[in-house]
Amino acid sequence: MTSIILVVATRLIFPLMLMFSLFLLLRGHDAPGGGFVGGLMAASAFALFAFATSVTRARDALRRSTFRLIGVGLLFAFISGLPGLFAGSPFLTAMWTSAEVPVIGKLSSVLLFDTGVLLVVVGVTLTIVFAMAEADEEEEE
Amino acid sequence: MLPILIPFLMAILSIINWGNRVLHRFLALAGSVGLLFAALALLTTVSEQGILSSNTGDWPAPFGIVLVADLPGAIMVLMAAIVGLAVLVYSTASLDEARERFGYYPLILILLMGMCGAFLTGDLFNLYVWFEIMLIASFALLALGGSRAQLEGSVKYFALNLLVSAFFLTGIGFLYGMTGSLNMAALAQALRAAGPEQPVTTVAIFFMIAFGIKAAMFPLYFWLPASYHTPPVAVSAIFAGLLTKVGVYAMIRMFTLLFVQDTAWTHGLLLVGAALTMLSGVLGAVARREIRRILSFNIISHIGYIVLGLALYRPLALAGAWLYLIHHVIVMATLFLVSGIVQRVGGSFRLARLGGLYQRHPGLALLFLLPALALSGVPPLSGFWPKLVLLQAMLQDGLWLLAAIALLVSLLTLFSMMRIWVGAFWSQAPAGVVTPAPMASVERRMLYGPVLALLALTIAISVFSGPAFELTQRAAEQLLNPQQYIVAVLGESP
Amino acid sequence: MEVALAIVIGALYAAGLYMMLRRSMVKLIAGLVLLGYASNLLIFVVSRLTRASPPLVPEGAHSVAEPFADPVPQALILTAIVIGFGLQAFALVLVRRAFQAVNSDDLDQVTASDRPDLQA
């Protein structure tokens, strides 16, 4: 079922897709992009990897369990709301630091929130894709 | 803010540590205790200082998403916290390992978070989002474990709730097209100013159908008795106590704050719907022979009472309805939890297979009898007072027929509850029944503890019905005077 | 354009309802998905249909130049699509599991919750 073309192409495309997902995340504030599309892009990279090899290999490549990704992502989003709370404004008020960081631009609670979104999207999408793909693999055996 | 954030944080932490049962239990209990305190604090602040509002992300009111805490909302948050805590304690003893491992506790926490969000939001679309959060958690809870009956119940529940989402979204689309805002306070102003050429009532019907399905009103309740008796008891209890009430709450919000242009028609329709809900629900209950299904049908018939209070649309009736809501949340959760204990000691939910429990467990019999009588409205228990108030309101409006129906429904409720009493407790045990192993003392404490606590609350409401009624009267006043709400959200200058 | 979209939305609602009334579980889900699309499109039309005029305030002006597309409904649709995506994914898994349990796609066979003899 796995074709050699798909395997080789995946080897090339997989890192590119991950980098593109990071690029989408970082440019998201002022241009089309952001955590959600970035997450979908990263998730499709892993899904492609799973189709080319196997779900087990893809899970290994992800290193962390998908649930943990969801949890950490939510935690990021949660933390990003706190600075506003400490500064006396309501929850989730957007805050920027004044320091410029190369490539990323100004660090902000918004970026943290978007990173959280990315992780959650990757986690949720892959949980579903892996669960369905695993059920298929079992049936084939 | 806190009532939403605490369960959220705990749910996050438990998702990170997926599969760790002991930690999950601990986090869930800590979360619900924290929620309880936050809810108490919120209720006292709101009742002393009036309506609170907070703009998330510091976007000003009509544009950003607003969280508003007024008395009705704060009361419901407290109810959610109480029932949530009771159910969580109960489930530590009654749940099997597989369910606990598959994220039962984080799901309950997310469910609680969704409810608190729905009770506190001041934005229509945000309400939709909280509803969906609740839905996803409840779907997963319903399907978790995956016996055939459970999966089928989930399919029915799922299909109808997706339909609700479509209706709700369509209604939101129309409303936004008409007014250009989704902030409930701004909507309330815009809709009051809307001319007769605007199809406000049509949109109102969209929302009525959406929340009617949610709240299990006639003729849209068929999903409820098909699904509520399938999951584990702890899940049934939290669904029965709270989930339908969120629908009722949203309905009351919509039809006091937003859709009051043509009360003769919309509220008249609600009145008829409520009466039919009461009747058909209780007739269903009388016809059943399984404890949890009888209780499911009783939920429906008593939703009718609450909607009736809304439909009468006068301060007395709304106050009664709100008191009824409080009473019903607690009593229904208690009854479902008791039914779980009955199943544990008697081995079945079906009346034909039960019997003789009174001899073996007289304490349990009393635990069942008290909330059952409270549910049917036997004085002086907690169900009696709101019924009295509602009856008074009906008679003031000269609705004799309706009052007669309400009384008849109470009587039939009593009949259906007594049937459980006779079948499970009073009668002789049928031959050949295997008695399950007796409970260990820890299990006993975890199962009986929450039931006793909830029962104590019921009795407290019965005894202190005066202060409780005053509180709900103030809540009803806030509901009927949306000006307060609008000022709190949008500021002084309208 | 509005008229065309109105017809499309109406057709989507009709198709969704028709699919929901079939007896197959998969068609039920497909119908619900169509209904969701229909309501999303409805909200989209509410935001006014304009081409290439984003709601940005031009240099030196105080308000947005007319006609512009209202961005709020588009944000709403985005949220609704994301939620819908999650729900539909769950629905597919659920229907699959239900199919394995019932061994049939026919909704008329989905009666176990009303029959005590099939319950554990």
Q: How confident is the model at residue B491 (pLDDT cuts 50, 70, 90)?
A: low
Q: Look at A68-72, B352-356, B422-426, C105-109 and tell me which has the smallest mean pLDDT.
A: B352-356
| Cβ proximity of C48 and B178 under 8 Å | no
Q: Which of A23-32, A94-103, B307-316, B441-450 has the highest mean pLDDT?
A: B307-316
Does C11 have pLDDT greater than 90? yes
Structural domains of chain B, count: 1
Question: Does C101 contact chain A (CB < 8 Å)?
Answer: no
Per-residue DSSP letter, B425: I
Whether A16 contacts chain C with CB within 8 A: no
Residues in chain B with CB shorter than 8 Å from the CB of A120 are none
End-to-end CA distance of chain A: 13
Nearest to C113 among B128, B132, B230 (CB): B230
Put simply, the answer to whether A78 touches B12 (Cβ < 8 Å) is yes
Choose the weakest-confidence range: A97-101, B97-101, C28-32, C52-56: A97-101
Evaluate if residue B482 carries a pLDDT over 70: yes
Q: How many CB pairs under 8 A join B and C?
A: 112
Residues of chain B neighbouring A128 (CB-CB closer than 8 A):
none
Length of chain C counted residue by residue: 120
Residue B488 or B271, more confident: B271
Q: Which chain C residues are within 8 Å of B130, Cβ to Cβ? A: none
Calculate the average pLDDT of chain B.
77
Name the residue with higher pLDDT: B120 or B430. Answer: B120
**Residue B134 domain-assigned?**
no
Q: In B, which residues are within 8 Å of A117 by CB distance?
A: none
CA–CA gap between residue B82 and residue B2 (Å, rounded): 16
What is the residue-wise DSSP string for B217-277?
-TTS-THHHHHTTSS-HHHHHHIIIIIHHHHHHHHHHIIIII--TTHHHHHHHHHHHHHHH
* C116 upstream amide cis, omega within 30 of 0: no
* Residue-wise pLDDT tens digits, B90-137: 877 776 666 666 777 778 888 888 888 888 887 888 888 888 888 888
pLDDT in tens, B304-344: 888 888 888 777 888 888 888 888 888 888 888 888 887 77
Q: Give me the count of residues in chain A.
A: 141
A124 touches chain C (CB under 8 A): yes
Contact residues on chain B for C71, CB-CB shorter than 8 A = none
What value of ipTM does the predicted structure carry? 0.83
Backbone angles phi, psi at B165, to 5 degrees: -60, -45
Residues 65-94 (C) with a CB less than 8 A from some CB of A: 82, 86, 89, 92-93
Show the domains of chain C with their CATH numbers: 2-50+68-118 (1.10.287.3510)
pLDDT at C14: 92
Report the percent of chain B where pLDDT is more than 90.
0
Percent of chain C with pLDDT over 70: 72
Name the minimum distance, in Å, from the CA of A62 to any CA of chain C. Answer: 21
Alpha-carbon distance of A2 to A53, in angstroms, equals 7
Q: What is the per-residue pLDDT across B231-259, written as a single tens digit (0 to 9) for each?
A: 777 788 888 878 888 888 888 888 887 77
The answer to whether B5 contacts A91, with C-beta atoms less than 8 Å apart, is: yes
Q: Do B149 and C112 touch (CB under 8 A)?
A: yes
What span, in angstroms and rounded, lies between the C-alpha atoms of B357 and B428?
Answer: 9
- Report the DSSP pairing between strands B66-69 and B52-55: antiparallel
Per-residue confidence (pLDDT) for residue B2, from 0 to 100: 55
Average pLDDT over residues C22-30: 85
Binary contact (C43, B172; C-beta < 8 A): yes
Which residue does chain B place closest to C102, by CA atoms? B148
**Least CA distance to A76: which residue of chain B?**
B12
Work out the burial of residue A99: count CB atoms within 10 Å of its CB; fewer than 13 is exposed, 13-18 middle, 19 or more buried. Answer: exposed
Question: Contacts of residue C83 in chain A, CB cutoff 8 Å?
Answer: none
How many interchain CB pairs under 8 A, A with B?
49
| Position B432 in a domain | yes
Which tokens is B105 given? Answer: 């506790």
User: How many domains, chain A?
Assistant: 1
- For residue range B46-62, what is the model confidence (pLDDT) as tens digits? 777 777 776 665 566 66
Distance from CA of C59 to the nearest CA of B (A): 23
Residue A3 pLDDT grade (very low, low, confident, very high; cuts 50, 70, 90): confident
Domain of residue A126 covers 4-140
Q: Are B51 and B70 in contact (CB under 8 A)?
A: yes
Summary mean pLDDT of chain C = 77
Cβ contact B191:B259 at 8 Å = yes
| Residue B12 with chain A: CB contacts under 8 Å | 71, 74-75, 78
B478 is in which domain, residue-wise? 146-490
Would the pLDDT of B66 be above 80? no
Buried (b) or exposed (e) across B430-440, using 16+ Cβ within 10 A? eeeeeeeeebe
Q: Which residue has the tokens 């939890």?
A: B337
pLDDT more than 70, % of chain B: 83
A93 and B9: CB-CB below 8 Å?
no
Question: How close, in Å, is residue A131 to chain C by CA atoms?
Answer: 9
pLDDT at B379 over 60: yes
Q: Above 60 in pLDDT, residue B19?
A: no
Phi-psi region of A33 (alpha: psi -120 to 50; beta: other; left: phi over 0): left
Residue written as token pair 């176990």 = C112
Partners of residue A101 on adjacent β-strands: A105
